[in-house]
Structure formats: C-alpha cells, structure tokens
Amino acid sequence: MCLIAFDWQPDHQRPLVMAANRDEHYARPTAVAGWWDEAHDVYGGRDLLAGGSWLAIDRRGRLAAVTNVREGAAAKPGKRSRGELVSGFLRSELDLQAYAQGVADAADDYAGFNLLLFETRDQPRAVYVSNRDPARIATVPPGVHGLSNHLLNTDWPKVRQLVTRLAEASGAPQPLETALLEALADRTVPADGDLPDTGIGLERERMLAPAFIYGVERGYGTRVSTVVVVEHDGTDFIERSWQAGADGPQPAGTVRARIQAGQTRRMQMCAMPTSS
C-alpha cells in the first residue's frame, strides 16, 4: 500500500473512513479481497508471492495497513516481508499495544515500513508504527491523516490532496464511495518544484507523484484502490482492481463486502471484462 488517507473519529458513529491505493509491479501475483481460507474472520487482499497483505480487516473490528518507505539507493531488503505485519495483527490474539511493541522490537527485520493498526469497536484505538520514525510507536490522534512512502502526515502533494478530498467527501453531492474512488483515481502530476526528493531522480519522482500511478513502461502502477467505511453497525469494504491496458489503466473488477461482528454478508462482486 503506497497512499492512504483516513479520518479517525473514535467517539463518533463512524469511527473510521479510509481511502487507499496499493502500488505494485503488475507482474506480482495478487489475490483480490476475500475471506482468507486459513483465517476465516479476516477479509482483504493477498500478496501471493510472500503471503501477506497490504490492507485487511476482521470481524473483531481490527484493521491494519502498511506502506513501504521510499529510500532510493539507501534501500536495503528486509529479512521478512512487510505484508506479514498486516496479516500477523489480524491473526493475533495480542492486544493492539502489545502487538505494536512486538513489531517495534523486531523492526530491523524489515525494510522501511509504516504500519497503521486500528481497534474500532469496544475500546477504539489507533497506533502508527514505523522503523524509520525515531519514536517507533505513536498513538494516532482523532482527525484526518495521510500516509505515503515517508512518515505519517508528511506533506507530499498527493498526500495533501487526498487528505483534503477525504475531508470534503462527507459533504460532496455524490456518495462517499464515489467521491473517494474518484480521488484515488486522480492522475494529476504536481509541478516539479513541489515534488519530494527521495533519491530516485526527477523522472521517477514525476511517475510516482500522482495519487494514481501508471508507469507501464516500468511494469509498475496502482493495482488496487480501496475504500473502507467503519460504522458502529458494520463495515463496508470496497476494492477496485486495475491492470495495464493498451490505452491506459483498465478496471479489472470491483469487490464489495459488508462486515459485521460475528457475521458477514457478501454484498456484490462485479467482474469487469479485461482488455484484449
């Protein structure tokens, strides 16, 4: 997962709204969101290469999401996959704080990561864990926040833009889902002077600058756009998949689920035709 904006309001009827894009190589094998065979209470997408996930939730009201940290030539591979930070939380019986501490203690096993952990039901809490933040663990305060491939709330243009559009979405004329998926599909490239310098060169900074990335010449782009709306009576999870096409990015399907504590109701699965 490479771009996330979320509205965390633990005392409200709608404690969490999240909009997120996963950017990845098109060739990396991926499973669309669904219930996991080995953990029946967990719902989300799967990385079929390393076995973890970038964003998933469970019936208990726990949610986890991870992004990598862009470090240019300084980047070093980790001994373990960052995706297991997400799957590990949702399959764990540990308290949120205890799990976060375990991640922080083993943080050097992973390449640079940002991890968001949420408990949205009985005792709502949210924490941020990163092995590139000196604090390692921080409580997330209520409000609208953004995260990409640097630390939480780093003011990159695409982070700022998605946070703004999320904040505005509840008052938009179109449904919340529509407004957020539209924001996630924004391919606007900021001016060069507004781009961060993360050590990868200007050309790649431009390619990675929009909310929605389409770098087909590099075999890389936004693969999945996800909207999660958590309310006291249940959670709506919408995932739209993308693939490279001859005329630009092509939608490959949309999966929707309604998730409640102790029960589930699959709402709809729309399979869109692939381009030939």
pLDDT per residue as tens digits for the range 22-77: 999 999 999 999 999 999 999 999 999 999 999 999 999 999 999 999 998 777 88
Q: What would the DSSP string read from start to end of 126-187?
A: EEEEETTSTTSEEEPPSEEEEESSSSTT---HHHHHHHHHHHHHTTSSS-HHHHHHHHHT--
Query: Do residues 229 and 14 lie in contact, with contact meaning Cβ atoms separated by under 8 Å?
Result: yes
The residue assigned the tokens 């290469």 is 49
Task: Provide mean pLDDT across the span 177-197.
Answer: 97
Sorted by sequence, the CB contacts under 8 Å of residue 247 that are 6+ apart come out as none
Q: Where exactly are the structural domains of the chain?
A: 3-270
Rounded Cα–Cα distance for residues 173 and 104 (Å): 42
263 — pLDDT class (breaks 50, 70, 90): low
261 — pLDDT class (breaks 50, 70, 90): low
| pLDDT at residue 174 is higher than 90 | no
Rounded Cα–Cα distance for residues 48 and 86 (Å): 14
From the list 111, 61, 121, the residue with the least C-alpha distance to 84 is: 111
- What is the model's pLDDT at position 262? 57
pLDDT in tens, 71-101: 987 778 899 999 999 999 999 999 999 999 9
| pLDDT at residue 106 is higher than 70 | yes
Which CATH number does 3-270 carry? Answer: 3.60.60.10
* Amino acid identity for residue 51 in this structure: G
> Could you tell me which residue, 112 or 264, shows the higher pLDDT?
112
- What is the model's pLDDT at position 274? 35
pLDDT in tens, 202-256: 999 999 999 999 999 999 999 999 999 999 889 999 999 999 998 899 999 999 9
| pLDDT at residue 265 is higher than 50 | no
Distances (CA, A) of 39 to 43, 59, 89, 100: 9, 11, 12, 20
Give the percent of the chain with pLDDT over 90. Answer: 87
- What is the model's pLDDT at position 140? 98
Average pLDDT, the chain: 92
| pLDDT at residue 128 is higher than 60 | yes
From the list 62, 25, 54, the residue with the least C-alpha distance to 239 is: 54
| pLDDT at residue 18 is higher than 70 | yes
Task: Provide mean pLDDT across the span 164-176.
Answer: 89
- What is the model's pLDDT at position 264? 45
| pLDDT at residue 266 is higher than 50 | no
From the list 200, 245, 249, the residue with the least C-alpha distance to 222 is: 249
Query: Do residues 250 and 71 lie in contact, with contact meaning Cβ atoms separated by under 8 Å?
Result: no
